[in-house]
Chains A and B, each alone.
Chain A
Amino acid sequence: EAQVTQNPRYLITVTGKKLTVTCSQNMNHEYMSWYRQDPGLGLRQIYYSMNVEVTDKGDVPEGYKVSRKEKRNFPLILESPSPNQTSLYFCASRTTGGNSYEQYFGPGTRLTVT
């Protein structure tokens, strides 16, 4: 089954404790992206990757890191989480070929930073 998976689905952590949220897709998509969803703000793009070893900042990259060493994986790293990073996080992927532009979303990771 074609899908985007994220782990963990729920995470509660404390300020300053480094964490990684994993994202993996099995559709051989070149493009992957991370978003955060907050009430009243919709989804805001954190980082995206056009292909392996190629990443760029979205609209809200502060406090986050990403890496793209393999095509299927795009982990989101919070080196020193703070309470304002409490949010619902979504990973998405799509092909860059053709004319689709349809993004496939993972189920989300709900992060709470205390």
Chain B
Amino acid sequence: AQSVTQPDIHITVSEGASLELRCNYSYGATPYLFWYVQSPGQGLQLLLKYFSGDTLVQGIKGFEAEFKRSQSSFNLRKPSVHWSDAAEYFCAVGAPGGFKTIFGAGTRLFVKA
């Protein structure tokens, strides 16, 4: 069955520290991969996406993610976290050319001063 797993329900990091949010997926073929961010009381905003090619993709707000086919992972990273990054982060997969999207359960990021 197709699924997305985000192992960490919540993570706390200090402002200025590096961040890595984990995402593993189960899919029949290489899917399209996405990371979305949801700020409190807001809808979701796309941070970055991977379709093919270079396995390290850059997104908005200084985020990047690396696709590792052998590990079925698409982890999100940021070298230096800002207090405004506190939000919930969702990893998602979709079939190339398809219309369904499967989201992970989300990881809530807390940033401490």
Contacts and interface: CB of A to CB of B under 8 A. Distances in A.
A49 to B, nearest CB: 9
Contact of A101 (B43, B94, B105): B94
Interface in A22-45: 31, 33, 35, 40-45
Contact of B100 (A4, A58, A99, A106): A58
Contacts of B100: 45, 48, 58-59
Contacts of A108: 41-43
B101 A45 contact: yes
B90 interface: yes
B38 to A, nearest CB: 8
B32 A101 contact: yes
B105 A33 contact: no
Nearest to B98: A101
Question: A interface, how many residues as a size bin?
Answer: 20 to 34
Contacts of A101: 32, 34, 49, 51, 94
B101 A103 contact: yes
Interface string A72-100: 00000000000000000010100000010
B103 to A, nearest CB: 4
- For B44, B90, B94, the residue with the greatest tally of chain A CB atoms inside 10 Å of its CB is B44
Contact of B43 (A42, A45, A90): A90
- For B42, B49, B94, B101, the residue with the greatest tally of chain A CB atoms inside 10 Å of its CB is B101
A103 to B, nearest CB: 7
A43 B42 contact: no
A44 B103 contact: yes
Interface of A: 4, 31, 33, 35, 40-45, 48, 50, 56, 58-59, 90, 92, 99, 101-103, 105-108
